[in-house]
Structure 1
Amino acid sequence: MGRFERLKRWAKKLKAELYALYLAYRDPRTPLHARIFAAVVVAYAFSPIDLIPDPIPVLGYLDDLILVPLGIALAVRMIPPAVLTECRSRAREAALKANPKSTAAAIVVVGIWLLLAALAVYLTARFVGL
């Protein structure tokens, strides 16, 4: 098996773990400190804003390659095993079936970003006097 295939498998596993963390932080059986940490990890992983901007050569991707997997590993250790096992199972089931909500949510998010960009252009033009 080539490196690319191993990398794809690793990325797929990380994605599944992130979804399991998302489910676990919403589970009331998860301790508060683990819920907070898992929520921060999931939010950071899906956030378009990084600690180190991606355009910076090499360093820009270090947070994605080191911080996110490290955060996942730490969060997994904080969650009770029974809760994590159940959440992983639910994450696998969700991955097997298509989720049209995620497509609709993506359209809504893109629409909001486009509206905000249009508002920024409008306000800039208004204040600059174009």
Structure 2
Amino acid sequence: MSDIHYQAVLPEGWQRPRGFSHGVVAQGSKLLRIAGQIGSKPDAHGVEAGLDFGQQWERALGNVVAVVRAAGGSASHLVALRVYVTRMDDFREHGAAIGAAWSTHLGKHFPAMTLVQVAGLLDAHATVEIEAEAVLA
């Protein structure tokens, strides 16, 4: 079995996270696994209090795309999204904001997606977390 070499991805200007990488590029496979991204600003460690679900969704999706770009790809390289929400009703009620954010960050690109309701997320203020995979050209 050969050694697997990988490189952590840290977008310019972002603080290095504790205990994980925002993204990892594996040499040879061109598969990028993107850790769960929440609706925090890139230079912060958490979600600021008071942001609604739509605002958090927009930031989380933007953070996913930023990691893909930092790895040398684009939004069109995303192949899968796994979305964790604390309230499914939030997802249903913020359809317009979700659609606007999708249009801004992904355009008409629609990777495979899973949506799951969870009891809570690590950040107490987070209501959505998006994990992703991309295949880089």
Q: TM-score range by the shorter chain?
A: under 0.3
Q: Which has the higher helix share?
A: 1
Q: TM-score, normalised by structure 2?
A: 0.26
Q: TM-score, normalised by structure 1?
A: 0.27
Q: Which one has a bigger Cα radius of gyration?
A: 1
